[in-house]
Amino acid sequence: MRRIALILLFSAVALPARAGEYKVEPLSIEDLKSVFATVESTDVIPARARIGGTLGALMVDEGSMVRAGERIATIGDAKLGIETQAQEARIASAAAERDKAKLDLDRALKLKESGAVSQARLDDAKTRYEVASRFVSASQAERAVVVQRSAEGAVLAPANGRVLKVNVTNGSVVMPGEAVAQIAVENYLLRVQLPERHARFLRIGSTVRVGERGHATARESLRDGEVVQVYPQIESGKVVADVRVEGLSGYFVGERVRVYISTGSRDGFLVPPDFLFRRFGLTYVRLKDGTEVVVQPGQTMPDTSVEILSGLKSGDVLVTP
């Protein structure tokens, strides 16, 4: 009895599992064209000098991350300090004249009460006091202008982003409006160039697939991106489009990334990879009747299924090897 049980157990282990089946039917396959896109910033903004002078403190270098309003350099101008001293002396002089005019006005008011001065002399004293007071205010405003010009020696980052290029060094003489550094805004996108024969397939809102960073692999995972801009001008026989995709913040500006763009569709056969096996350097499938057929595999689709270029016909039933 024990011997019979062992024989039944061995027979059960030796029997193969029931093979899976797959019926070959023509499917619509996207014709994906692989191109290289470059990582670009939506905007590259120059940080400019607002005054002329000598660059005394440069606080950033290529690759530095900056925030909007952050000081990245300081420009000094010795003439501004001299102008500030001159304005302070002018204010002191104007204040002394105002104080004297105030004394003359007070004296004229007292004398007018006793009838010792005329109304015309009193009006003249009031006018001199008002003129002196206005001159003090004007001198203070001029001094504020010089102080503001000194404060504008700070070169500020115009937006959040990364410094792409620094155009000057410490000690350089810069002019008003000169670009001290180029800053790439944090918003990165992919810029794609396609031959003009594929221009009709590019639409705003179309989905493209973006490959992994580095070398392509057979099992490469793809991310979805969206076309956000198609430029209307064709340059050198190529149409240019911008693609927005998440996860580009760590990339270098100008880095190349593989992008797969649909340029139409065609009918073809797709087979799950489990139904393929290789022998002697050739790829085979096994039909339900046990026949083994050599096939020519094509590209691997995002869902890992493999396109079969030749060797199969519609209606074939495959089993797993």
Residues 142-160: tens digit of each pLDDT: 888 888 888 888 899 998 8
pLDDT in tens, 101-111: 888 888 888 88
Fold of the domain built from segment(s) 44-77+153-185? OB fold (Dihydrolipoamide Acetyltransferase, E2P) (2.40.50)
Residue 124 confidence (pLDDT) above 50: yes
The domain segmentation of the chain, as residue ranges, is: 16-41+187-319, 44-77+153-185, 78-151
> φ, ψ for residue 84 (rounded to 5)?
-65, -45
Euclidean distance between CA atoms 278 and 275, whole angstroms: 10
Q: What is the DSSP string of 56-117?
A: EEE---TT-EE-TT-EEEEEE-HHHHHHHHHHHHHHHHHHHHHHHHHHHHHHHHHHHHHT-S
Q: Is the pLDDT of residue 235 over 80?
A: yes
Domain spanning 16-41+187-319: CATH superfamily: Efflux pump adaptor protein, beta barrel domain (2.40.30.170)
Model pTM above 0.75: no
What is the CATH number that goes with domain 78-151? 1.10.287
